Structure 1
Amino acid sequence: MALRFLVVEGNTRGARQAHKEAYGLTLSESYAEVIHGIDDDSVCDIAFPTDEGANLPDAAGLESYDGIVLTGSHLNIYDRTPDILRQIDLMRAVYASRTPSFGSCWGLQVAAVAADGDVRPNPLGREVGIARKLTATEAGRTHPLLEGRPAAYDAPAIHLDVVTALPGDCTVLASNAISPVQAAEIRQNGGVFWGVQYHPEFSLSELAAILSRRTDILVREGFCRTAEEAVAYTQDLSALDKDPSRFDLAWRHGIDAEILDPHRRIREIRNFIEHRVKTQKSVRGRA
């Protein structure tokens, strides 16, 4: 029987449209493509909890899925607007459903807050482009989420906010110099969530599409000196995605096979499907 996933998009309608215009897909559509690439028989539904009146799954609906995935978002969770509160409430329901769940960036932040943790702007500033020297904690070195990752690795990333107060039942699995919580397992109300602060689902082209709409931030926050430099950076990322053999670009930007090789880049998502979704499908009598 095919695996059934619910992909929960964290963006508002306008942000979804902007991403689709820049990249051709929304974040949730892109995430569903990654899941299909791992398991081509899988079925992915998409939910938009930021939309007022959205038809969201009830408890039985959440339990009917084999896995639930939360995307990134342009929102800041401490704003606690109605579109954010709906996402927190949905994540609490996901925990209660005990359906295996995973999230990237915003997804990790929603999961943390839904389990009574906290998220705030990073006093060290934004992490943008590539998260460097991600390193497993002692617990992370043997955790199946990071199975196959080297001792230190890089991954696509873009975020200002970080988890600043851990939920009560949380194990930090990876960190780096920018954020002490780069990967974690959170247990709440019988449910288990695996998440990362970075974006293993992002190709360099999708990352470039996002950064191309944020060149003002890259300049204002000192990542690039001029708008032209920022544009050139995004163009290099796109070119490298189209042709990973471009050693000159990989060398210039310090991008290695952990990002260039799609199989290695999406490792955490594959590990979630193999070690949580498929095993729990059997435990829950769905296999």
Structure 2
Amino acid sequence: MKVEGEEKRYGLLLAKKEDEYVKEMYGGYFNVFVTAFGDDGERWDLFRVVEGQFPDTNDLQNYDGFVISGSPFDAYGNQDWILNLCSLLQTLDLMNKKVLGICFGHQVLCRALGGKVRKSCTGWDIGIRKVKIMKDKSPCISFLDGLDENLSALSIIECHQDEVWQLPVRAEVIACSDKTNGEMFIIGDHILGIQGHPECNKDILNNIIALFLINGSIEKDFAEEVKSKLEIVEPDRKCWERICKSFLKG
């Protein structure tokens, strides 16, 4: 059990294989997430759930929170590791542990807690998109209190072709965009799903676009259009990092 005054401890549930470019340039996805959401004096542990590495059930009580990464896999898939991840998320929900889901993590949280996920009817969403924040939606979103009162939308990097279709019964949407209705949802004060990538920068996204081109996931014309738009807009990364840290540590 956590003792008052102990260092805060978080776990990253990594749902994707390591990328050589990200490993070379940023030290791997674990470092990307810890740089975005971590603070001095904290302990962060890595669990490569995509490879079947999960935290010990008896150790869950010692964590202050977990972050679930994005993934090229479908959150509605039935691979063993995805089913095991859903089971873990159900346990963490019952324990009222803070859980932040990013992209795939947002979607698999939805599935695990009773909602539904599907392929987007409007295809890929890759690039930077304005997300409308509904700050007055619920008393549970005090982690948005630090935002400028006049700020009603934030730009975020997106890279997905699946989407939340039906929310869990207890969930509430707190952000939307012109592409995706459920950009963010909360459950109580301990579950937060974000469809976009607050941890990601444009360099990492450009690398992902290059990989998508190589494996045939997207067409060249579409990739060039996305890259040209990336040159003239910036994501509100600092605001998103502040939101995520405030949620995890509030």
TM-score for both structures, normalised by structure 1: 0.74
Match of 1:35 in 2: 37
Superposition map of 1:268-283 within 5 A: 268-275=243-250
Give per-residue Cα distances to partners, 1:163-206, cap 9 Å, x unaligned.
Answer: 1011010011000111110011024xxx8311211111112222
2:131–2:175 contact (8 Å) kept in structure 1: no
1:120–1:163 contact (8 Å) kept in structure 2: yes
Match of 1:56 in 2: 55
SS of residue paired to 1:212: helix
Of 150-159 and 209-218, more deviation after overlay is shown by 209-218
Superposition map of 1:108-147 within 5 A: 108-136=106-134, 138-139=136-137, 143-147=141-145
Matches of 1:103 and 1:272 in 2, distance apart? 12
Match of 2:227 in 1: 233
Among all aligned residue pairs of Structure 1 and Structure 2, give the percentage whose two residues are the same amino acid.
20
Q: 1:34 to 1:177 in 2, by over 3 A?
A: same
Give per-residue Cα distances to partners, 1:16-45, cap 9 Å, x unaligned.
Answer: 244645644332332122223xx2111100
Q: Which amino acid aligns with 1:43?
A: R
Q: CA deviation at 1:212?
A: 2.2
Matches of 1:198 and 1:140 in 2, distance apart? 21
Give per-residue Cα distances to partners, 1:43-87, cap 9 Å, x unaligned.
Answer: 1001122224x35320x3111101111111111022211121121
Match of 2:15 in 1: 10
Say which of 190, 193, 208 aligns to 1:192: 190
Match of 1:212 in 2: 210
Q: Which amino acid aligns with 1:223?
A: F
Match of 2:27 in 1: 25
Q: CA deviation at 1:136?
A: 2.5
Q: 1:182 to 1:145 in 2, by over 3 A?
A: farther
Q: CA deviation at 1:123?
A: 0.1
SS of residue paired to 1:10: coil
Matches of 1:17 and 1:136 in 2, distance apart? 34
Q: How many positions carry a matched residue from both structures?
A: 240
Matches of 1:204 and 1:140 in 2, distance apart? 32
Q: Whose radius of gyration is greater, 1 or 2?
A: 1
Match of 1:158 in 2: 159
Q: Higher relative contact order by CA 8 Å / sep ≥ 6: 1 or 2? A: 2
Matches of 1:186 and 1:22 in 2, distance apart? 37
Of 145-154 and 193-202, more deviation after overlay is shown by 145-154
Say which of 244, 254, 257 aligns to 2:233: 254
Matches of 1:41 and 1:31 in 2, distance apart? 16
Q: Gaps (5+ residues) in structure 1?
A: 238-248, 276-287
Of 23-32 and 110-119, more deviation after overlay is shown by 23-32
Q: Which amino acid aligns with 1:211?
A: I
Q: 1:85 to 1:47 in 2, by over 3 A?
A: same
